[in-house]
Amino acid sequence: RRAAEEAKKAKEAAAAAGATMDDEDDDGPKYVYLICDQRDEAEIDNLYNYLYDQGFEVILPVFEGDETQIREDHIENLKLCDSVVIYYGHANDLWMRAKTRELLKAKGYGRTKPILSKAIYLAGPETPSKKRFRSHDSIVINGMNGVIEDSDWADFIRETQG
């Protein structure tokens, strides 16, 4: 994870120096921002490792620091990542709505390229909201059984790898 954070800092430094994601070499790894609630942090390791094993640099949210720092880091991650996965586990419906709205606002935060792929990973506990959850804007992956299937991730991986 340290390598991913160092790579993210290098990407941020390039952006601060005037480079945009369009200027970067597309031969490097793609960055996937894996958004989760702090209550799910202990449960995301399998998904984190799966995405990393697909060749992606995986960026996780920070949970320590003051509220302003955490928010700024989240916005930078949205600006710099190539694709996003929202891990919808123990968080409530309001958290989920806030995260999907933030994806819609990413361009307003200064993002220079479209997000290549967006996925929402439904994890336990099962709720009525998750049972009926659908999206035209994001790939919805049902992970309630806790098993990560390549076939469930094929579209996300293809879209992210370009």
- Looking up residue 93, the CATH number of its domain turns out to be 3.40.50.2300
State the residue range of the domain holding 131.
2-10+30-161
Tens-digit pLDDT profile for residues 120-159: 999 999 999 999 999 999 999 999 999 999 999 999 999 9
Query: DSSP letter at 32?
Result: E
Which pTM was predicted? 0.85
The number of domains in the chain is 1
Q: Using CA atoms, how far apart are residues 156 and 117, in angstroms rounded to an integer?
A: 6
Query: DSSP letter at 17?
Result: T
Q: Using CA atoms, how far apart are residues 138 and 88, in angstroms rounded to an integer?
A: 13
In-domain check, residue 21: no
In-domain check, residue 54: yes
Tens-digit pLDDT profile for residues 1-58: 555 555 555 555 555 444 444 445 567 999 999 999 999 999 999 999 999 999 999 9
